[in-house]
Amino acid sequence: MYITLFNINTLHNYYKSGICKKLTFVPTANCLKNIKNHKLIFRQSESGFKIAYKSIDELGTPLIDPSGNLFTFAITLKDTNELLNITNLKVDSKEYTAKKIIYFTNNPVGNKTITHKFIDDIKPQIFNYKFPFKANNPNSDVANLEILNMEGANILGPFASIKPEKDCSYYYKIDLSTYPSGKYTFRVSDSTNDQIDELIYIDNELSKQSIFGLLEIEYDNTTLEEYNLSLIRQESFWKYLIVNKSDSIDLDSFSLSILDSSSEHPAPYENTYEFEKGEEPDPDIRISGFDTVIFTSKNKIPFYEDSLLNIELLKTDRGGKSSAEGISLIKHLPNPKLSGIINKNSESEIYVFI
């Protein structure tokens, strides 16, 4: 009889179901050895996976006790661009970049919901380490390096007086071939740069792969049976660029506006949204040579699987009464594309041609 050792669910509040089906988990070579040696079964599902053990009695006693083992899984993505654009991967004040590795761990083991951290890079056991800064004065600056394990103990170094190369970059040949795969802190500084700690995962196999993240499950007698990997939706200011391509709107005679015509939106949206209009037309921005009017939401709007409806584009006769209702041009303006990019101002640009 096989009994669940632990179960991993991937959750994402962008989806109505709350379940994310975009992650694939692949056991590392060492993890596969653990699974085989302890007579375990790995079963992947659409929304995660589970590890089961072979029991020898009705009390659930394992055939081989897996306590004290670390199970490591590489994470890859389906629909990479979509998932990255709908997911807020920021950790504290640190933004996600393509070089960083998303890292999940059940340490401490009592937390059922697991949120991510960052690993700065994955490298093989022997490599040429490039420092995260350059020398300001290559003729006089020197750098320092030491490597710590996850208990904070020094295992290599400190190496002092490392000179920069001609391009002002610092490099140092690293050999961790006598140390196990895992996370190490690279602590660096130089004459003018303050101390920086980089968290680097050392593994010959994983360093050759293109992966999104890592999951490490430390198993002991207090490990929970159920863990949730929790991702949260992105939000942005919606920036509509209304392009008068057909020249059907005389902007001297008519004014454009965007109105949230819904009395109340369902969660997670706010009840109503307001949009600020720029100059009409914008004096500096012309899309493909056409007059363009820009509207930006006053508040950030969450990305969600159900579209935000009743964001309406209207035109109003400039010569009419100020209280006159506008004529509807588009009842439901489009939401941002999931493959789109949020710019540095936290804006999602939406182009609408009329």
> Got the DSSP string for 81-148?
HHHHHHB---BTTBPP-TTSEEEEE--STT-SEE--EEE-EEE-SEEEEEEEEE-SSTTT--EEEEEE
Q: Count CA within 13 A, CB hemisphere, residue 296.
A: 12
- For strands 347-353 and 235-243, give the pairing: parallel
Show the tokens assigned to 201: 């995962």
pLDDT on residue 180 = 93
Show the 3-state SS of 21-74. Answer: CCEEEEECHHHHHHHHHCCEEEEEECCEEEEEEEECCCCCCECCCCCCEEEEEE
State yes or no: pLDDT of 92 exceeds 90.
no
At 322 the pLDDT is 55
Q: What torsion do the CA atoms of 49, 51, 55, 58 make, to the nearest 10 degrees?
A: -40
Question: Closest by alpha carbon to 316, among 276, 274, 258, 256?
Answer: 256
Report the pLDDT value the prediction gives residue 60, as an integer from 0 to 100: 82
**343 phi-psi bin (left φ>0, alpha ψ -120 to 50, beta other):** beta
pLDDT surpasses 70 at 206: yes
Mean residue pLDDT across the chain:
92
Q: Tokens 């969660």 appear where? A: 267
Give the mean model confidence (pLDDT) for residues 318-339.
81
* Residue 157 contacts residue 146 (beta carbons within 8 Å): yes
One-letter amino acid at 59 equals L
For residue 323, the model assigns a pLDDT of 54
pLDDT for res 61:
85
Based on the number of CB atoms within 10 Å of its own CB, is 325 exposed (0-12), middle (13-18) or buried (19 or more)?
exposed
* Alpha-carbon span 170 to 161, nearest angstrom: 11
For residues 67-81, average pLDDT: 92
Would you place residue 162 in the very low, low, confident or very high pLDDT band (cuts 50, 70, 90)? very high
- In this predicted structure, the answer to whether residue 238 has a pLDDT above a threshold of 90 is yes
The CA-based dihedral angle spanning residues 247, 253, 255, 256, taken in that order and rounded to the nearest 10 degrees: -20
Q: Token pair of 221, please?
A: 């007698």
Residue 42, number of CB atoms within 10 A of its CB: 17
More confident residue, 94 or 319: 94
Distance CA 313, CA 276 (A): 13
What digits encode the pLDDT tens for the residues 294-306? 999 999 999 999 9
Tokens (6 digits) for 150: 């996850």
| Mean pLDDT computed over 317-332 | 77
Smallest CA-to-CA distance from 84 within 93, 96, 92 is with 96
Note the pLDDT of residue 146: 97
Helix, strand or coil, per DSSP, at residue 91: strand
CATH no., domain 125-202:
2.60.40.10
Determine how many CB atoms are found less than 10 A away from the CB of residue 192.
11
Residue 89 has a pLDDT of: 93
| Residue 319 clears pLDDT 80, i.e. is over it | no
